[in-house]
Amino acid sequence: MSLPQKDIGPHYLEEKEEVLVEKINTRKKELNGQLLLLSHHYQQESVYRFADMTGDSLKLAKHAAGAKDRNYIVFCGVHFMAESADILTSEKQVVMLPDLRAGCPMADMATLDEVQWAWEELSNVIPIGSLIPVTYVNSSARIKAFVGKNHGSVCTSSNAERVLTWALDKGEKVFFFPDEHLGRNSASALGIKDEEVVLWDRGKPLGGNPPDKIKQAKILLWNGYCTVHMQFSADHVQMWRNKDPEIKIIVHPECRHEVVAGADIYGSTETIINTISSSPPGSHWAVGTEINLVNRLNNQHPDKEIHSLSPFQCLCSTMYRIKPGYLLWILDNLVEGKVENQITVDPETAEFARISLDRMLKI
């Protein structure tokens, strides 16, 4: 979701890097005890270095919820991440996003209106009580709330297979959104047959499928995707196999199925970090995920060869909107007692979204 962002002016956007660094560190000291600065792994290094805690989206939101003494949560990530933090934190905690234009194209591919319309269409074809919705954490609060109301669960890239197993035990079919590829890779890992997995083409009647195909399916996949991970291909996998016989290929499960199938290992950002960090010196890696994380791993492990799987710079452009100037602007205002760019989820949406998140944590 991209929201209007105030013009913060050249005072922040054209300031020298060394001045921004000094001022941000000063502001952090002035707000000591009140501020918690969170940064996602895909954040650029010029912002990432200021973080009090780094991690994936859910890990950071849970950390914010546990830091009950910190009243100001500045989330250097994208909109749905800040929403999750607001849902899980207390009423006295304020969650802010430095640039409101930092959204997630994948999350925006599944709107509440679209999902409700699809749900209604499906109710005319199958017993809707047998259908369990599962949403990837990379989705809006409104989608998480829809899932909570309809007895489903959130999942992450690290627990999607477990959540799918739970959902299929609970019902006959699963409607998985917004990421087609995480859903397909997880279904394949569970041994679900290709003919039992159906792609729902958003905007088409019954997702472009005949009723019989819907009835025989176990998994319905919303056709959303991550613009970053779609840039990796099976050709890139083969290129590295040909180029370096010692290469190990590790990719994120948001990649296409043929990329995941050709890799040695796949997993969440935390899995990628932990796997490479614990590998022996001299290891060779080609990594299929966002370039800021790949570059950071390369800098942190000079004893290993670490490359991007793609020859191109696979950058999350919306995450890149969070720049030091915007971070300083937020902190300057906080020191003056003003809150800018607060992210709030209305109480009803938050209540049902929390239900879907809690279900996941219990699985």
Domain boundaries defined on the chain: 10-103+318-344, 107-227, 229-308
Q: Which residues contact 16 (CB under 8 A, 6 or more apart)?
A: none
Among the residue ranges 3-17, 208-222, 280-294, the one predicted with the least confidence is 3-17
Q: What does pLDDT average to over the chain?
A: 96
Report pLDDT for 313. Answer: 86
Report pLDDT for 357. Answer: 95
The answer on pLDDT for 172 being more than 70 is yes
CATH number corresponding to 107-227: 3.40.50.10800
Residue 59, helix vs strand vs coil: helix
- Locate all alpha helices (DSSP H) within the chain, ordered by sequence: 10-13, 17-30, 45-48, 57-66, 79-88, 105-108, 112-123, 141-149, 160-170, 180-189, 211-216, 234-243, 257-262, 269-277, 291-300, 324-335, 347-362
The answer on pLDDT for 85 being more than 80 is yes
Find the mean pLDDT for residues 81-107: 96
The answer on pLDDT for 2 being more than 70 is no
Find the mean pLDDT for residues 212-230: 97
| pLDDT interval class at 279 (50, 70, 90) | very high
Find the mean pLDDT for residues 303-312: 97
* DSSP one-letter code for 27: H
CATH number corresponding to 10-103+318-344: 3.40.50.10800
Is-contact 76 40, C-beta < 8 A?
yes
Find the mean pLDDT for residues 108-120: 97
The answer on pLDDT for 180 being more than 80 is yes
* DSSP one-letter code for 158: T
Q: In whole angstroms, what is the distance from residue 271 CA to residue 49 CA?
A: 21
| pLDDT interval class at 46 (50, 70, 90) | very high
Report pLDDT for 1. Answer: 58
Q: Are strands 173-177 and 219-222 parallel, antiparallel or unpaired?
A: parallel
Q: Are strands 265-266 and 247-251 parallel, antiparallel or unpaired?
A: parallel
| pLDDT interval class at 4 (50, 70, 90) | confident
CB atoms under 10 Å from CB of 151, counted, come to 16
Class assignment of domain 229-308?
Answer: alpha beta
Q: Which residues pair with 174 in a beta bridge?
A: 132, 219
Find the mean pLDDT for residues 140-166: 97
Q: Which of 13, 61, 3, 12 is nearest to 36 (CA)?
A: 61
Phi then psi for residue 93, to 5 deg, are -90, 135
Are both 10-103+318-344 and 229-308 of the same fold? Answer: yes
